[in-house]
Amino acid sequence: MTKHDPSPVEAIKRNLRLSLLDGAFAQVYANFTGTIFLPAFALILGAGSSEIGLLAAIPFLATVAQLFGSMIVERSASRRGPALNYAFLSRLFWLPVLLLIFYYGTTNPGRILLWFIPLFFLIHVLGSISGVSWLSWMASLVPMEIRGRFFGLRNSIIGMVTVSFTILGGLFLDWFKHRFQQEQQVYAFGILFGIGFSAAMLSTLVLKRKTEVSRHLPSHGSLPGLINQVWNQPNFRRLLNFGLLWSFAVNFSSPFFVVYLLRELHFTYTVVSLITIAGAIADLTGMGFWGHLSDQHGNRPIMLLCVAVGSLMPLTWLFTSASDFSKFLLIPGLLMMGSFVFAGYNLSSVNMIFGSAPRENNSAYFALWNSVNGVFTALGAIAGGLFYDHGQALSGLADGLPGWSFKYLFFFSFLMRISTLVLLRRVREVSTPTLKLVRILRSVRAWTTTMGFHPLVQFFLPAGPENQPSSYWPLWKNRRN
């Protein structure tokens, strides 16, 4: 090792610091080209609920590409190469989107929508392949002893970026709306997409500076063989059967919450941004809370509890309206509760897959879970859009029904969600019984202990397993060799 060569520990820490920066730029890109801004952009282009449902479905439908991405990773001697190359190609296709917006913006917005849908699909197919490679790369890069706190820190940074840029984007759209004519509103989204594209290119440059600290041994197994191996695991199969129906039921209504706020309740972009931020903060809080509970009591009871409460959430939206009480109290409260609960579901479901998968060659488990759930998520969003657009006649079959509204979607989503509990109960795990966890959560002491400040402090304390010092933490402290 020469004087200027970093030690292996410092090389890993440098890569992890770059990953934090990459994550921040990547989240600006993801935020401005998705979240609340995507359905708002579709509305400006004159999209109906079917088109909005299709756009909401595309990122999930494209996850099928993760199966092929898994094969690319397994057969490659490098995980860095596929992650970097496919990420760059995916993000590059936002250039023709920007050209379409600024060329047809005031003359033919329908043509923008016609071309945007296939381009958006291609962007997410390439991004899904990159995502599988990135996960495999990061699994080899992040030391096991700091994995929890590193991803906790990274997710916290991503959460702060989401909060900041969501409110900035909402304020910008409202400012643009008052300063320019209606037919020029599409340019505001072009500007946001342009900022997102610039952040994506910065993310790619940071990604390029990261190195691969361990060599990947390629495998030559076939895709059907990998899928068959995963499918033959009974508990994972039961989990998958539940997950695909749950994904369909949730996304039958969830892509239309923002459209409901904008179209039926006539909320401003700023108000929708603030409400979304409230949900993002609740999600961050929930990740820490449910993470500590899962370590102590297991994942199955958390999944059952979160699915039960999450099933009731669309039912509560039936009581919302355009009143000030709904705008400033009820809707933000419901969104915060939903985000907090879904943080528990997302965390525990991933941990359940970790528990079902072997320690080695487990990328196929995640690829199959993501792709199958992605397909049914997409089908749910498409079905919800079609149901809304073509279900007007259903409300005329019976006298006395209220006017056609997105609330019909919420009600049917509730019925489908609650029925999935039967499938979830069949999933097995050695864990605390669900009713016992409920009794624990009824204790004020349990909440104060779980919600303490130690999850935040751990980002800055040099501790490893069993509170022993770690060479890798904190990331920003270099050690002399």
Q: Could you tell me the CA-to-CA distances from 33 to 19, 94, 321, 439, 443 in Å, in that order?
A: 21, 9, 28, 42, 42
Average pLDDT over residues 143-168: 77
* Angle formed at CA 481 by CA 470 and CA 6, multiple of 5 degrees: 90
Range with the lowest mean pLDDT among 233-242, 372-381, 420-429, 452-461? 452-461
Is 386 part of any domain? yes
Give me the pLDDT at residue 305, please: 92
Give me the pLDDT at residue 95, please: 96
Domain edge (last residue) among 156, 180, 212: 212
Is 477 part of any domain? no
Same domain for 123 and 193, yes or no, is yes
Q: Rounded CA gap, 366 and 171, in Å? A: 38
Give me the pLDDT at residue 465, please: 44
Same domain for 446 and 300, yes or no, is yes
Give me the pLDDT at residue 455, please: 46
Same domain for 244 and 262, yes or no, is yes
Same domain for 208 and 240, yes or no, is no
- pLDDT tier at 12, thresholds 50, 70, 90: confident
User: How many structural domains is the chain composed of?
Assistant: 2
Q: Rounded CA gap, 85 and 103, in Å? A: 29
Is 94 part of any domain? yes
Domain edge (last residue) among 162, 190, 212: 212
Is 81 part of any domain? yes
Q: Both tokens of residue 167?
A: 């409110």
Residue 243's closest CA among 71, 68, 381, 371?
371
223 pLDDT above the threshold of 60:
yes
Give me the pLDDT at residue 285, please: 79
- pLDDT tier at 463, thresholds 50, 70, 90: very low
- Residue range 17-35, pLDDT digits in tens: 999 999 999 999 999 998 8
- Residue range 245-301, pLDDT digits in tens: 999 999 999 888 888 888 888 888 888 888 888 888 888 777 767 766 776 778 889
Q: Rounded CA gap, 415 and 421, in Å? A: 11
Same domain for 282 and 341, yes or no, is yes
Same domain for 119 and 232, yes or no, is no
CATH of the domain at 260: 1.20.1250.20
Q: Rounded CA gap, 63 and 354, in Å? A: 19
Asked, as a colleague might, if the bond just before 474 is cis with ω within 30 of 0, I would say yes
Range with the lowest mean pLDDT among 141-150, 168-177, 278-287? 141-150
Is 217 part of any domain? no
Q: Rounded CA gap, 105 and 46, in Å? A: 12
Q: For the chain, give the mean pLDDT.
A: 82
Q: Rounded CA gap, 381 and 385, in Å? A: 6
Same domain for 391 and 447, yes or no, is yes
Is 282 part of any domain? yes
Give me the pLDDT at residue 464, please: 44
Give me the pLDDT at residue 393, please: 63
Task: Quote the domain boundaries for residue 400.
Answer: 222-456
Which of 76-85, 128-137, 253-262, 310-319 has the largest mean confidence?
310-319
- Residue range 326-369, pLDDT digits in tens: 888 999 999 999 998 998 888 788 778 767 766 556 667 777 88
**In the chain, what percentage of residues exceed pLDDT 90?**
29
Same domain for 140 and 286, yes or no, is no
pTM of the prediction? 0.73
Is 473 part of any domain? no
Is 466 part of any domain? no
**In the chain, what percentage of residues exceed pLDDT 70?**
83
111 pLDDT above the threshold of 70:
yes
Same domain for 348 and 370, yes or no, is yes
Same domain for 53 and 172, yes or no, is yes
Give me the pLDDT at residue 454, please: 47
Give me the pLDDT at residue 481, please: 42
Residue 166's closest CA among 301, 56, 270?
270
Domain edge (last residue) among 172, 192, 212: 212
Residue 282's closest CA among 348, 332, 351?
332
Residue 201's closest CA among 39, 56, 84?
84
Q: Rounded CA gap, 405 and 108, in Å? A: 29
Average pLDDT over residues 223-234: 75
> 3-state SS of the chain: helix, strand, coil percent to 5?
75, 0, 25
- Residue range 368-381, pLDDT digits in tens: 888 888 889 889 98
Same domain for 115 and 235, yes or no, is no
Same domain for 153 and 250, yes or no, is no
42 pLDDT above the threshold of 80:
yes
Give me the pLDDT at residue 236, please: 86
- Residue range 184-212, pLDDT digits in tens: 889 999 999 999 999 999 999 999 998 88
